[in-house]
């Protein structure tokens, strides 16, 4: 292709290819803007986190945290969940979407913990994804936040939106996007990346209209796909 490249798409390709050279600048600025960014689901034990993570699918964090306040007071160990009925759990998690299905997963996962892991939440992705209701994303969440075993970047809706606009990845498949981000961002930043992009997505880089005039990384962002902003 010659030097006289024309058209919006060609321009976007040039920008998108340039911007990934700057992820550390972006993350450093975001860390200074959101110094208190942290994991968003409340938990005290790995089992708490397993349960909260299963409940969190397609649910706002606040709804999950509200439901688990009472749930965690009554259920402390895997055997407690394993011996519960779906209706027992739904009493506490009724406001969570697909509550009965998620209760079923929690009970089945807890029975597997009791039978195969002495009631403990395992520490490998391979063992975690064997549990009902646990996929790769949930497994990475548990390892990273319960055990500080960082095995990749967690991709949620905020990470997808912000990384799209930054030009870091345009993969529709969450696992493939996570793989691209893992290659782009140094491992020591993997754990914080989701916290920071989520905080930024909630505060500034919102859907459908971001507040670009207040954005701390505005000068580094190509605003890919943004047609209107504040």
* Catalytic entry in 42, 61, 66, 156: 156
**Backbone φ, ψ for residue 143 (5° rounding):** -60, -45
Kindly state whether residues 132 and 65 are assigned to the same domain. yes
Per-residue pLDDT at 167 exceeds 80: yes
* Structure confidence at residue 230 (pLDDT): 86
Kindly state whether residues 107 and 88 are assigned to the same domain. yes
Kindly state whether residues 141 and 98 are assigned to the same domain. yes
Kindly state whether residues 134 and 61 are assigned to the same domain. yes
83-100 pLDDT, tens digit per residue, is: 999 999 999 999 999 999
Position 169 in a domain: yes
Considering only CA atoms, which of 163, 145, 150, 153 is closest in space to residue 200?
Answer: 163
Position 227 in a domain: no
Burial 190-214 (b: 16+ CB within 10 A, else e): bbbbbbbbbbbbeebbbeeebebee
* Catalytic entry in 102, 137, 191, 198: 137
Residue numbers of the domain that contains 181: 20-38+153-214
* Structure confidence at residue 22 (pLDDT): 82
Q: Which of 116, 146, 176 is the last residue of a domain?
A: 146
Position 3 in a domain: no
122-143 pLDDT, tens digit per residue, is: 999 999 999 999 999 999 999 9
Kindly state whether residues 128 and 52 are assigned to the same domain. yes
Kindly state whether residues 141 and 166 are assigned to the same domain. no
45-74 pLDDT, tens digit per residue, is: 999 999 999 999 999 999 999 999 999 999
Confidence of residue 29 (pLDDT cuts 50, 70, 90): very high
Which pTM does this prediction carry? Answer: 0.86
Per-residue pLDDT at 19 exceeds 50: no
Position 101 in a domain: yes
Which domain CATH number covers 28? 1.10.1670.10
Total tally of structural domains belonging to the chain: 2
Kindly state whether residues 89 and 53 are assigned to the same domain. yes
Position 1 in a domain: no
Is 42 among the residues known to form the active site? no
Position 72 in a domain: yes
Is 137 among the residues known to form the active site? yes
């Amino acid at each position: 292709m010659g030097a006289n490249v024309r058209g919006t798409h060609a321009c976007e390709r040039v920008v998108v290819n340039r911007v990934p050279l700057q992820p550390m600048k972006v993350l450093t600025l975001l860390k200074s803007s959101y110094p208190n960014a942290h994991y968003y689901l409340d938990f005290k034990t790995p089992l708490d986190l397993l349960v909260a993570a299963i409940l969190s699918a397609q649910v706002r964090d606040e709804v999950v945290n509200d439901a688990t306040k009472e749930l965690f007071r009554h259920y402390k160990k895997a055997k407690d969940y394993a011996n519960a009925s779906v209706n027992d759990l739904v009493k506490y998690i009724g406001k969570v979407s697909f509550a009965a299905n998620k209760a079923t997963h929690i009970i089945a996962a807890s029975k597997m913990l009791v039978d195969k892991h002495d009631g403990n939440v395992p520490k490998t992705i391979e063992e975690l994804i064997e549990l009902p209701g646990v996929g790769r994303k949930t497994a990475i969440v548990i390892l990273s936040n319960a055990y500080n075993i960082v095995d990749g970047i967690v991709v949620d809706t905020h990470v997808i939106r912000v990384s799209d606009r930054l030009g870091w990845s345009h993969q529709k498949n969450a696992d493939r996007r996570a793989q691209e981000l893992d290659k782009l961002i140094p491992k020591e930043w993997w754990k914080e990346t989701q916290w920071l992009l989520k905080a930024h997505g909630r505060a500034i880089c919102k859907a459908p209209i971001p507040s670009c005039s207040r954005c701390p990384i505005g000068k580094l962002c190509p605003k890919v796909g943004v047609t209107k902003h504040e």
